[in-house]
Amino acid sequence: MLAGCGSSSTSSDTKTITVFAAASLKQVFTQLGTQYESAHPNTKVTFSFAGSSDLVAQLNQGAPADVFASADLNNMDKAVKGGRITDKPQNFATNVLTIVTPPGNPAHVNSLADLSHAGLRLVVCAPQVPCGSATKKVTSDAGVAISPVSEENSVTDVLAKVTTGQADAGLVYVTDAAGAGNKVTTVNFPESVKAVNTYPIATVADSKNADAAKDFVTLVTGPDGRKALQQAGFGQP
Amino acid sequence: MIRPPVWLYLPAAIGFVLVAGPLVALTGAVDWSHFFGLITSESSRVALELSLRTSLAAAVLCVLLGVPMAAVLARVRWRLLPVLRALVLLPLVLPPVVGGLALLYLFGRHGLVGRELESFGVRIAFSTTAVVLAQTFVALPFLVITLEGAMRTAGDRYERIAATLGARPSIVWWRVTLPLLRPALLSGVILAFARALGEFGATLTFAGSLQGRTRTLPLEIYLQRESDPDAAVALSLLLVLVAAVIVLVAYRRPGLAVDRVRTPARSAGS
């Protein structure tokens, strides 16, 4: 803003970069943001966490942002097609599905196949959203016919239905399960590797602080980022 | 009719634009070449049908419960009645998601009433019943507020005369009170139906989302937006059109409900 008025910026000016990131990255990115700010005292990092498709819609409508991290390749492609991303996106993390149940697993769900049991109140993501397409892929590959009582819009909605005890089981990402702590019991299943979700990150083409944006991407893809992501349950691409 | 001062027209015009502008923009965003295909797809049809069915059920529930509530609020003298009235109106100002959570802790699987029902094998969460309950919860205040206002404005003169002529309370209720309330009841029901049709947050939180069972039109729009924004826009316009028709029917003459009820009271008073 000030630059537009003709005043020259000095080194003491505080820069701000805005990072659009998938909701599942909230914990890790907030932590990395603090780390970035302490390494770059003149730069402030602000985040907008939401579903990847919401973020792409906002980006393609011209929302100001410097970095975009998506929870799937498909939404990153949409941002590239929309012209907001011109750099080649880098894949920095992966996520797989897991089964969560209320604490103690009262319905005795021990495998993916158990999800097809009659009377089991199973909640999953709708096929239209990334976690739902992963669910569809995993179950159809394994030949497990599920009849969920609800197909939610987001993985957090699925998690909430399980933590409140409304559902007997739900399919969420391992990172969501890790984030829920002892509010859920996690049942991993080997078939989950059939649908690995890949997270790409890129700087936004018209970023006002392209250098700072690049630095943040480097932090996420570098050893510190890898460590933080691993701790949160993410895999390496 | 005395016209308002001219300077009022400007803020009024801004207000109209603020309300109508987004809807006009929405119409402009519709992909007309695919419009009918999008709104008649199976998932859209199923969602619209479910919405109409559940909203109708909610409107009936609103009448069965709301008319007696309005009568109690308007005609009973009780110290705690203002508190009760405030409680009844709460769903009007609550964020729908809060309503959904509240319903969950009453009718959910571990809710106060829900866990008792569960032991009898009655499951409410994730069922169409849950949708109707959520819709009734948010729509009921509209009916109660419309009707209570009408009853207060109308006064109880006719009822008292009927009573002095020997009519028992039930006869007075069916033959005098209710017929006088008919116009207000009609607009109240239509408003409640329209509000039920638009219900979103409480349904999503409390009932879940499954095609044909709990995924009403607003939930379908929310879901389509993720994968097919054109379909979401088309369905949004459909919902706007349905809502517009309903509101037009309810208010086809300004002040319809209030005027008709007030007339006898006024003439009686003069």
Over residues B206-234, mean pLDDT:
90
Over residues B7-32, mean pLDDT:
92
Pairwise CA distance, residues A222 & B74, whole Å: 69
Element (H, E) at A224: helix A223-231
A123 touches chain B (CB under 8 A): yes
Q: Which pLDDT band holds residue B269 (cuts at 50, 70, 90)?
A: very low
Residue type, B107: F
Over residues A45-50, mean pLDDT:
93
Name every residue whose Cβ is closer than 8 Å to that of residue A32 and which is 6 or more positions away in sequence: A216, A219, A220, A224, A225, A228
Q: Which pLDDT band holds residue B266 (cuts at 50, 70, 90)?
A: very low
Pairwise CA distance, residues B206 & B124, whole Å: 9
pLDDT digits (tens, 9 = 90+) for B177-186: 899 999 899 9
pLDDT on residue A12: 55
Least confident segment among A11-25, A88-102, A185-199, B132-146: A11-25
Of A208, A171, A200, A179, nearest to A68 by C-alpha is A200
Q: State yes or no: pLDDT of A42 exceeds 70.
A: yes
Over residues A124-139, mean pLDDT:
91
Q: Please check whether residue B213 is in contact with residue B126, taking contact to mean a CB–CB distance below 8 angstroms.
A: yes
Q: Which pLDDT band holds residue A198 (cuts at 50, 70, 90)?
A: very high
- Angle at which helices B128-154 and B42-75 pack, to 10 degrees? 40
Which one of A61, A124, A151 would you mutate to disrupt binding with B, by most B Cβ within 10 Å of its Cβ? A151
* DSSP-assigned beta bridge partners for residue B2: none
Virtual torsion, Cα B71, B72, B76, B82, nearest 10 deg: -120
Q: Which pLDDT band holds residue B257 (cuts at 50, 70, 90)?
A: very low
What are the chain B neighbours of A52 within 8 Å (beta carbons)? none
Q: Please check whether residue A123 is in contact with residue B208, taking contact to mean a CB–CB distance below 8 angstroms.
A: yes
Q: State yes or no: pLDDT of B221 exceeds 80.
A: yes
Q: Residue A236 class from Cβ within 10 Å (0-12 exposed, 13-18 middle, 19+ buried)?
A: exposed
Considering CB atoms only, which of A51, A53, A161 is closest to B208? A161
Selected residues 132-171 of chain A with any CB under 8 Å from a CB in chain B: 148-153, 157, 161, 164-166
% of chain B exceeding 70 in pLDDT? 93
pLDDT on residue B4: 87
Tokens of B165: 């002529």
Q: State yes or no: pLDDT of B267 exceeds 50.
A: no
Q: Which pLDDT band holds residue B265 (cuts at 50, 70, 90)?
A: very low
Tokens of A86: 């011109």
The full DSSP string for B129-174 is HHHHHHHHHHHHHHHHHHHHHHHHHH-SHHHHHHHHTT--HHHHII
Over residues B51-80, mean pLDDT:
94
B143 touches chain A (CB under 8 A): no
Q: Which pLDDT band holds residue B226 (cuts at 50, 70, 90)?
A: confident
% of chain B exceeding 90 in pLDDT? 49
* Predicted complex ipTM: 0.75
Phi-psi region of A59 (alpha: psi -120 to 50; beta: other; left: phi over 0): alpha
Over residues A106-119, mean pLDDT:
93
Q: State yes or no: pLDDT of A4 exceeds 70.
A: no
Least confident segment among A45-54, B54-63, B134-143, B244-253: B244-253
A50 touches chain B (CB under 8 A): no
Q: Please check whether residue B49 is in contact with residue B101, taking contact to mean a CB–CB distance below 8 angstroms.
A: no
B70 touches chain A (CB under 8 A): no
Q: Which pLDDT band holds residue B253 (cuts at 50, 70, 90)?
A: low
